[in-house]
Amino acid sequence: MSSQILFEHPLSEKMRTWLRIEFLLQQLSSQLPLNDYPSALYFLRNISDLLDIFERGDIRTELLKELERQQRKLQAWVEVPGVDMQRITSLKEQLRNTGSSLMAGSRLGQVLREDKLISLVRQRLSIPGGCCSFDLPTLHVWLNASESARNNLVNHWLASLESLRETLALILDLIRHSSPFRKQTSLNGFYQDNGDDADLLRLEMNLEDAIYPQVSGHKSRFAIRFLPLDSEHGVIPERIDFNLACC
C-alpha cells in the first residue's frame, strides 16, 4: 500500500468540468456487467449526471480548442535541441486523430438522450425510491431479459462516448505530465504561490499524516490551507513537506 496520496484541484472551470466527466466515465465501467438493480441504477445515475453536464455548456468545442492548444505547444518543442521527434510526431498524430473522431461524431450524449429507457429512469431518479419495479416496469423487464441483450445495449451506449473518452484521456494525460513535481513546504498549515496560468494543481502528500489540502484561487494565484482529517483532535504540524505540480 502506497504511503503517498495524490490530490488534484482544478484552477479553471473547464478543468473542473473535465475532471468531473473523467470521474463519471470511470464509474460507468466499474459496475459492469449490469446484472441487478444496484449496478443498473448506479450506472444509469452516472449516465444521467453526464447528460446534465453536457447540457450546461459546449464541451466538444472546449475540447477541440484544447487539442489545438496542445498542438501548438508540441510545435514549439520541434526546435528544441535533443527533443524526441518521434514522440512529438506520435503525439501530434494522436491529437489530430482524436480531434477528427470527436468532430465526426454526433452531438455529445445524443444517443443517450434519445434512448427511451435512459429517459424513463432519469425522470424517476430525483424521487426517493422512485425506481422501484412498480414505478419502472420497463427497467424491471430489461434487467430480467437475457444478459447478451443487456450487454449489447450497454456497449452501444458506451460506444457513443468513446471519442469523448479518448479525447479527454489524451488531453488530461498531456496536462498532467506538463509539469514536474517539486518539493514545497507549508508553514503553519498555509501555502500560496502564483499559478502561472496553470489549469490543474497536483499535490502528493504523506497518507499517514491524515491531512488534506483545501485549495482556493485561480489560474494566476492560489492558496492552500492544510486541515486535519480529525477536525476535533487533529493537529497541523508547523512545517508540512509536500510535492506540488502546477500543470
Query: Torsion angle, CA of 192/196/202/208, rounded to 10 degrees?
Result: -20
Find out whether 215 and 223 touch, Cβ atoms under 8 Å: yes
Q: Mean pLDDT, to the nearest integer, of 191-209?
A: 92
Give this prediction's pTM: 0.92
Query: Among the residues of 160-210, which ranges form H helices?
Result: 162-176
Name the pLDDT band for 2 (thresholds 50, 70, 90). low
**Is the separation of the CB atoms in 171 and 73 below 8 Å?**
no
Domains of the chain from N-terminus onward: 31-177 (1.10.3900.10), 182-246 (2.60.440.10)
The stretch 29-47 carries a mean pLDDT of: 90
Q: Are 154 and 33 in contact (CB under 8 A)?
A: yes
Instruction: Please check the confidence at residue 119 and state whether its pLDDT lies above 80.
Output: yes
H helices of the chain, where?
13-28, 37-54, 59-77, 85-104, 110-113, 116-124, 137-143, 147-159, 162-176
**pLDDT confidence of residue 231:** 83
Structure confidence at residue 185 (pLDDT)? 95
Q: What is the pLDDT of residue 184?
A: 96
Mean pLDDT of 201-210: 92
Q: According to the model, what pLDDT value does residue 136 have?
A: 92
pLDDT at 49: 96
Kindly state the average pLDDT of the residues 106-111.
Answer: 91
Is the peptide bond between 38 and the residue preceding it cis, with omega within 30 degrees of 0? no
Residue 40 CB: number of other CB atoms within 10 A? Answer: 21
Q: Higher confidence at residue 147 or residue 234?
A: 147
Average pLDDT, the chain: 91
In the prediction, which pLDDT does 78 show? 75
Q: What pLDDT does residue 12 have?
A: 93
Q: Taking the CB of residue 149, how many other CB atoms lie within 10 A of it?
A: 10
118 contacts 112 by C-beta, under 8 angstroms:
yes
Spatial neighbors of 69 by CB under 8 A, at least 6 apart, are: none
Q: Give the model's pLDDT for residue 1.
A: 55
Cβ pair 115, 157 in contact under 8 A: yes
pLDDT recorded at residue 214: 95
Task: Supply the pLDDT for residue 87.
Answer: 87
